[in-house]
Structure 1
Amino acid sequence: MEDDDNNGALVEEMMAAADEITAIGEFRNPYREQLLSLARRIKLLVPMLEEIREGKDRAISGGVAGSLAPLRAALESARELLRFGSGGSKICLVLERDKMLKRFQEVTTQLEQALDKIPYEKLDISDEVREQVELVHAQFKRAKERVDTPDEELYGDLSSVYNINDTNAADPAILQRLAGKLQLMTIFDLKQESLALHELVVSNGGLDPGENIERMSMLLKKIKDFVQTQNPEMGTPVDPKVLPSNDKPKNPTIPDDFRCPISLELMKDPVIVATGQTYERDCIEKWIKSGHFTCPKTQQKLSSTVLTPNYVLRSLISQWCQANGMDPPERPLQLCEPLSSCPATEHAKVVDLIHKLLSVDLEDQRSAAGELRLLAKRSAENRVCIAAAGAIPQLISLLSKSDPRIQEHAVTALLNLSICEENKGRIVSCGAIPGIVYVLKKGSMESRENAAATLFSLSVVDENKVTIGASGAIPALASLLSEGSQRGKKDAATALFNLCIFQGNKGKAVRAGVIPTLMRLLTEPGGGMVDEALAILAILSSNSDGKAAIGDAEAVPVLVEIIGNGSPRNRENAAAILLHLCSGELQQQRLAEVQGLGVVSRLQDLAENGTERGKRKAAQLLDRINRFLEQQQQAKVIAQAQ
């Protein structure tokens, strides 16, 4: 029993390492592409680890655990490298180029060799996941034989300035290139690099600069002085930790959300860029005019350089100033202009409604949320306008209200806003998922239905499938699928279908008890849910637990009937499910069952007249049945000869 526990802990440790790797944020250094590639490949291993952990045979033998141990060590090595690549000093990363390249090659080789030792035939994983892991294995094998050298010019420039003792001797053109390529153009970036340099330790990737830390700090100072010379208004970053106690600022601490990420000063004229981040107008305009077309905070490319006033944030800043005895920031005259994406009349209405959402009066909140819900439904322009004005966080805060109408209006407004592709990311990044799931569990039936539809809309983005699946949404969707109205069942089914496209969510759906509900919907006279039920079953049948649950639900006769009499799409899905059922340990038993139910003639018709996918599935299943019959015949001949 102790060995089983230890082996189970091995899988949990690998999952923890892989989860941390996938959660690591941006890489803003010369090794960005290599680091992103490494993180992406490791992310593709997560479904295998989840299936091992969630597999039917949860006990892992000592021999199998021994084969997985090198993978755990490789994931831990990759985690350390990616941690340093994410938060380490950019200057150190470039100057320690040879060590970094060696680390990349060591980690890649370690992962390739660990994957080579995995005994797939002894693990309870699906064919799809095994194919995915083998593809990753092949990628690591190619990668270990190829070393991508980072920017040679950057390395040469940095080395030349690093070796200059006279601070005035550095070539301004070189400093300009270094500031741009290292992304050290703002006070925020310079401060972060300074902190990273002073926090370098051996554990951070094993790249300790030792006595060279002072020279690296001097190099950073040269870049900082140059950048400040180019932009005198940027100011000098001051670390409050180094101020004597009697020099501490007496003014109240400004909340981080009220500071511009570029200047770190209280915003007077906050504006929203295309990525959804907010900056001081003057700072971001200078950033764009200097030739930068990325978001300074996220480094994403700006799809548009349009700046949208953040009226709600400006109002909150003003209220905070008044509460702390400070004069509110002076508002530039141009802010009186309406949002470019809204007609003037709609612009005024949106700003007024968002202010009402902040009211302590429930009736104000109820009516404002209801009107925003209708406005968001009315047009694409309104959806952009409402989101850009800062309504999303305020609507999210209403999801936990006890008032059922406020809750319903808020979740439906978010549903309507999510129709706009750009808003999907904003809604999730603002932390909406837990609130939507809360409504899905506790709200009125209409609220629950709209919450399910919202989750479906948001899960169109692949990254959101993981976030939603981890939020506890799947059991709540399974409950709605079972007990909801006809519309509620449809909403729940579409959301479950989309979420279960992600391999890691399939086991969650099976454990939530969705299979018996789907089988009931499949056989319910006049239920109108056959299409949805079959589509979800087809996805879940590729999961080992899903396949077992479908088999236990005595689905084979129902599937055979649908192959003969269903719609073209339903026939192909039924054949796909049956193909999965007729594989693995119970293959012989299942093949005997389907052959006895007269499926052959139905499959032959599907192979000739079905959809392209239906033809492929039918042909594969017929091939298995024919081989099974041949084996049966051979066994009879041998038995008679004896």
Structure 2
Amino acid sequence: MDSEEFEKQQTPAMSAAVVNALRRPPPPAAFFAPEGLTDFSFLHLLVAVAGDLVSVDCRPPRYQGRNFRRLTRRIRILLVLFEFLLESQRPLPPLALLCFKEFYIVVSRAKILLDYCSQSSRLWLLLRNQEISGYFHDLEREICTLLDVLPLDELCLAADVREHVELLSRQVGTSGLYFDDGEEQLRVKVLTFLNEIEKGRLPDHSDMKSTFIDRIGMLDAGDFDSEIKFLENQISNTQEDDAEADQSSVGGIIAVVRYCRFSLFGCQRTGGGNSRSSPWSPPPHADDIPAITIPTDFCCPISLELMREPVVVLTGQTYDRKSITQWIASGHRTCPNSGQILGNAYLVPNYALSCLITHWCRANGVPCDSQASSGGCGSPAASKAEVEANRATIRILIRNLSGGAEDSKAAAAHELRMLAKTGKENRANIAKENAIPLLCLLLRSQSPIAQENAVTALLNLSINEANKTKIISQTGCLSSIIRVLRRGLTPVARENAAAALFSLSAVHDYKKRITEEPSGVEALARLLRKGTARGRKDAAMALFNLSTHPENWERMVVSGAVAALVGAVRDEEVAEEAAGALALLARQPVVAGMVGWEEQAVVGLAGVMSAGSARGRENAAAALHEICRRGGAEVAERVARVPGVAGVVQTVALAGTKRARRKAAELARMLERREHLSLSLAPAGLRGGGWVMEQVSPVAVPVTVL
């Protein structure tokens, strides 16, 4: 067979599925051999790659050990061939060179597979026993094919080297797919636990101990926690096109392992040290609702929050169902975004956008209870076995939460916090098992770890709409959350208390109640002024939500929240939310007058219009529009006299988003009526108001960024 025929036979199957299944970006060497090298340079590189693989003193993993050792032996024999050819320095025949380039790819893949087995957890290797064995077999078949094609007669090999190569060729030619019977039995045993729980029967304590501790070798709680973490990472790295049943199965195994961990070891610590190194105190926000920027298209134009159930109205605009329903129920008959009359109140689900939002939430670790998540386009629903195993774990944790020592309570709160993050079934079951009153009591703990985990668990539980009612209705819970916001023992506890208030305030009926709670709004205003970047963001979002209730404006003024929001418009981290809140509050003439009379407030809003995000510009334009509209002629005149405002308004009226252009145009007409805009600045497109303009020159507005 000549080199051309051999090259034609190299199908994509030879670039085996090994790397794709390992859920990590493969290096180029897994698919391509280097080009442009001399024969000597290429052989030198091949020897280095193969030598690196066999020289590493790496112990075989607990499972797949035989396949691991056998592949290493194959590469070691090939290394003898590569080293001989390098030392001989003879030119390589074309077909031989092509074979060695394929050997380079095979050796690179072998290294990936061996590293993967060494770094994988025991349970993962067991669960993927047949699949990973198949990867080893694929590499053996590739080596066999290459040795069959390799022109040994043209290489002038020494007798002992040729003998080694021919022996290897016979070995790989007769080797088949190998499964270790003992490992396969263990895999089946673990899956049996899953099946038993699905049928409503919890595994026997002694049987769990025998399987996980004695046979698999998970000797302590730390081993269980490591296995759980590895399996969770595998789920988070799963590609969108992977089988949902596979994800659900791994989720069930995680739930079973977690139940076994707490059944066998309770809430035992997995490490020592102070609170900074405690396993029950993860890095700030690493495991909870993340502080990330939500794509504008995923936000409801009314609430500016992530849409949980996007629907389309008659005008073609999309809103979150809850927000547009409240808008219509309040007596409005126009589309909030376009201003068109709504002929009817029909709401059509936007399934395409719902799927996109669910996928984005999944990719960014954002909990999402949208309808898409229970359909075919989001994360797969938890299996019955997973739900039941987690429910059994929740009962164990709540027993520790109610009667354990302080460390045990902190550990239980941490695990409930994590479970509340990972699924809507868990959030519902935790609340059903009466965890909320116990977590509320823990908010007053003197342990920083316990308090932080308790408030974060409540935050994660509040994602469930029904749980919001339970938290608000629990006696003393709201005041305890505000107490943590004011005097929490860690910055993260204070920030997550603010985030909890933001989550609870998503329910319209609770906004007034939260605002009336003593010191709550004051604490949010203080966090907005002096908190960390994350804390200021949480506070700004909570204050924005509270501002959407028309009866809260007076309390917002008295508490200093309005003043804090005015200062926040000069902080690029929270300017968008602050401007949005001011736009809502400025609907009240008293607030409009207060803000409009403050030149720095107007300058700050103009700065957001000039250099803020698209949504920030919309909010700032709306805020200035409300200030001039509600504040009266004197306020409008004062706004118009602030240097730079006119130019910024004109720029946004021409180049902003649809909503920003509309607000800016209305604002410009109001200011023009005050006769404080030069006719030379009037845009040609706004002749309806007597305004004529040929050119726009943007004006820089001095804004201090904190």
- Band the TM-score falls in, shorter-chain normalisation: 0.3 to 0.5
**TM-score, normalised relative to structure 2:** 0.39
Instruction: Name the larger-Rg structure.
Output: 2
Larger relative contact order (Cα-Cα within 8 Å, sequence gap ≥ 6): 1
**TM-score, normalised relative to structure 1:** 0.43
